[in-house]
Structure 1
């Protein structure tokens, strides 16, 4: 079972040809409200990728809160430890342009009320194979959850987004960190992904840096270094692609897959997500991921056969 202690937001998404500059007004071509939040996204991605998942978090006592809880439960995720607190739910204002780029403003709402796991949360965490964390909750809550997982011997996977200064008390509990290349640069001060990967390994035992259309790189303190190319696709919306990658990666590792195989699985999942609009609405199911992997393996085998014949 995977546990996710994180944010649940309603994404308020506008689609435009080109994002507005400061002081500029542009006309959009579509608007949607879509359940999201980095925590909820990773939970849904992991559940659709085949894991049993429990979500620990908070929603407000508004209509968005009702919908967020319903969406999580509808994905087969345990919502027993989702609190309903007075006030609004978290909201993310997202602008997506025609090049599939996005800009996001997160208003924490109910997520900001969390201070750390209580006794019932800790009991659930102790039964998990891994805990997935992000940084859209108050930092004190994230640190407390990481410490509870470490004390229970549970593997901790951290997505360091949005970027903040990471305290030593959090890093000492993290087994695997998964930033994108911009977050990795913000943490390490290095714009080169390989240098950033090395710097991250001074902080935690394992690291993956995602590189968008260039794939992802993995490293461990044991000396393993890997690069997994991205699956070639035409992206229409990159919102939550990273969360899809992390959710699928956590599933693959929990299933005992080696890092190279886990990276391929996560890359396949992300390649499907970017072909669809929205956050939770874009995340693929297990059979879709397996189909992409099978097709990619067949393509690699065909190229190998051609080389042999040549």
Structure 2
């Protein structure tokens, strides 16, 4: 399959428990339920892009365990090309330990496992996949040198390069910014990258402008129920979020990134692509779990045109 969206990133098995409230440090609370759900920011974004209309290829690593088999089969079931998903011998697949409270807030601990084995050599081996893509998407759950390679190669190939800087614990390498067409952080990630505390539209704009000064072409700060803020050197635009009743916000950001990527690959206008991605993300929070919550193209079209 010739993919028009290539996602380079992580594949995790999410171990999810729901509880009335999140525990404080040192505290034990009783959970109400437990389940395993296919996740990983890279895989989530690939699934979102595929369900929302794109032809998608995934580049990543899984372990030689049962989770690795299940994660690959899950992507294949969503019609995602997995030829560039490598199985790492004698390695465990990545996992994420997720706790969701009654208000749909969550805490997440990620153990990289095989995701930490994705190397630039893996990307060089599947360079043809990058060459035929329209959009290349990365996150930060795989080794930093691999992300840097993908961004640089995407710029060399003149592709639309999207970086979702998640999880972000500090500034990005400054030379990365010139390779990024769309930098898509949430509020905490925008703060980590820019040093500007983001707690309002005004502060989100300040943070985004700092990232533009670093060299990013365009920045979209996702603000949850407050919508999304688009900032470029020439323009600032706030996009209000659709109103829904939230159940679980686990994959909302990934759904936004995947939906936005799919819309751009389909030739959609940038602003319409943002609105499309917002509807997809809003629908995702109305269901529990990461990949199970990601809507289809029909779902989004039905919501947008009731």
Give TM-score, length-normalised by structure 1: 0.93
1:119 Cα offset (Å): 3.2
- Residue of structure 1 in register with 2:112 after alignment: 108
Spell out, residue by residue over 1:207-229, the C-alpha distance to the aligned partner (whole angstroms, 9 max, x if none): 100001000011222x1221111
In the TM superposition, residue 169 of structure 1 has moved relative to its aligned partner by 3.0
Instruction: Tell which structure's C-alpha radius of gyration is larger.
Output: 1
Deviates more, 1:163-172 or 1:43-52: 163-172
Inter-partner Cα distance in structure 2 for 1:254 and 1:179? 20
Cα displacement (A) at 1:63: 0.3
SS of equivalent to 2:58: strand
Show CA shifts across 1:141-193 (max 9, x none).
11111112222221210000111421123222111100001111111111211
Q: Which moved more, 1:252-261 or 1:104-113?
A: 252-261
Alignment of 1:103-182 (within 5 A): 103-116=107-120, 117-163=122-168, 164-182=170-188
- Whether the 8 Å contact between 1:60 and 1:88 is mirrored in structure 2 is yes
Residue 292 (structure 1) aligned with residue 298 (structure 2):
no
In structure 2, which of residues 82, 87, 92 is the aligned counterpart of residue 88 of structure 1? 92
CA distance in 2 between counterparts of 1:252 and 1:27 reads: 41
> 1:29 offset after TM fit, Å?
0.6
Give secondary structure in 2 for the equivalent of 1:268.
Answer: helix
Gaps of at least 5 residues in structure 1 are: 296-310
**Using the alignment, how far apart are the partners of 2:123 and 2:246 within structure 1?**
41
- In the alignment, the residues of structure 2 paired with residue 270 and residue 119 of structure 1 have an alpha-carbon distance, to the nearest angstrom, of 32
| CA displacement at 1:120 relative to structure 2 | 3.2
Segments of 5+ residues of structure 2 without an aligned counterpart are none
Which SS does the other structure have where 1:29 is aligned?
Answer: strand
Instruction: Measure the CA separation in 1 of the matches of 2:301 and 2:235.
Output: 25
5 Å-filtered alignment, 1:198-209, equals 198-202=209-213, 203-209=215-221
RMSD (Å) for aligned C-alpha atoms: 1.0
Aligned residues: 294
